[in-house]
Amino acid sequence: MTYAKTAAFTEEQQYLSRVAKALAHPARVAIIQFLASKQTCISGDIAAELPLSRTTVSQHLQELKALDLIRGEIDGLTVCYCLNTELLHKVHQQFTAFFIEATAGAACGPDEACAC
């Protein structure tokens, strides 16, 4: 029987990891930034805003939709994309808490020797 190693981690750790993986590609960061800059749903061609093919942009949109970071509603023959701002606020809070916890203790800096 195969044991999934991810099961040894909390739900929040697994979720933050999935979000970090989704945001690890610059095209996905650019898509989120583009949607945020418009502050509205976009039913136009997002691919026209990025230096990628329509197919590649579609694949990146699907990755973001799979985590519900963006939403896509069918409007006739087009899809209207919006940020899921409620979820993005939650993710922001989770990452902020993660980084506060990670930087709260003594650690090595770039010019400091490790106290190991």
pLDDT at 90: 95
CB-CB contact of 56 with 48 (8 Å): no
Coil, strand or helix: which one is 36?
Answer: helix
Mean of pLDDT over the chain: 86
The reported pTM is 0.81
Six-digit token string for 35: 């949607």
Structure tokens at 4: 């999934």
Select from 92, 91, 84 the least CA-distant residue to 68. Answer: 84
Span 7-19, mean pLDDT?
A: 90
DSSP 58-113: HHHHHHHHHTTSEEEEEETTEEEEEE-HHHHHHHHHHHHHHHHHHHSS----TTS-
Of 2-16, 27-41, 65-79, the one with minimum mean pLDDT is 2-16
pLDDT at 28: 96
The residue whose two tokens read 């976009």 is 42
Which amino acid is present at 51?
P
CA angle in degrees (0–180, nearest 5) for 82-83-89: 160
Ordered structural domains, the chain, with CATH: 9-103 (1.10.10.10)
pLDDT tens sequence across 59-96: 999 999 999 999 988 877 778 899 999 999 999 999 99
